[in-house]
């Protein structure tokens, strides 16, 4: 269940970002991004943490392997994203 207030984020910048995501990434990614845009206070730090975990060079796994693991776990969790 999604709050109605998350359907359209407030602020012109957030709406512009969602429009761009719809054009280039598709609707599933847009749904994931709505949470980040709705609560930027936790969305931005979480995004930085996620990027560090997925893109950091301090790992024995390649970026591609980490992406594959993330996709596999998402599939197991029946996640749309």
Write out pLDDT tens, residues 48-65: 888 888 888 788 888 888
Q: Is residue 3 in a domain?
A: no
Within-domain flag for 4: no
Angle at the Cα of 61 (from 28 to 67), degrees rounded to 5?
Answer: 5
pLDDT digit string, tens, across residues 30-44: 666 777 777 777 777
Name the pLDDT band for 7 (thresholds 50, 70, 90).
low
Residue 66 counted as domain residue: yes
| Residue 44 placed within a domain | yes
Would you say 30 and 18 are in contact if contact means Cβ atoms under 8 Å apart? yes
Number of separate domains in the chain = 1
Q: Does a structural domain hold residue 1? A: no
- Whether 68 is in a domain gets the answer yes
Find, among 7, 2, 9, 3, the residue nearest to 40 by Cα: 9
Give a yes or no: residue 34 inside a domain.
Answer: yes
What pTM was estimated for this model as a whole?
Answer: 0.49
- Provide the percentage of residues in the chain whose pLDDT is more than 70: 77
Residues of the domain holding 19:
10-76
């Amino acid at each position: 269940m999604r709050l109605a207030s998350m359907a359209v984020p407030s602020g012109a910048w957030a709406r512009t970002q969602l429009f761009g995501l719809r054009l280039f990434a598709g609707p599933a990614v847009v749904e994931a991004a709505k949470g980040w845009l709705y609560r930027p206070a936790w969305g931005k730090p979480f995004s930085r943490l996620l990027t560090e975990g997925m893109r950091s060079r301090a790992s024995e796994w390649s970026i591609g392997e980490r992406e594959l693991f993330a996709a596999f776990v998402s599939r197991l969790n029946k996640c749309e994203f």
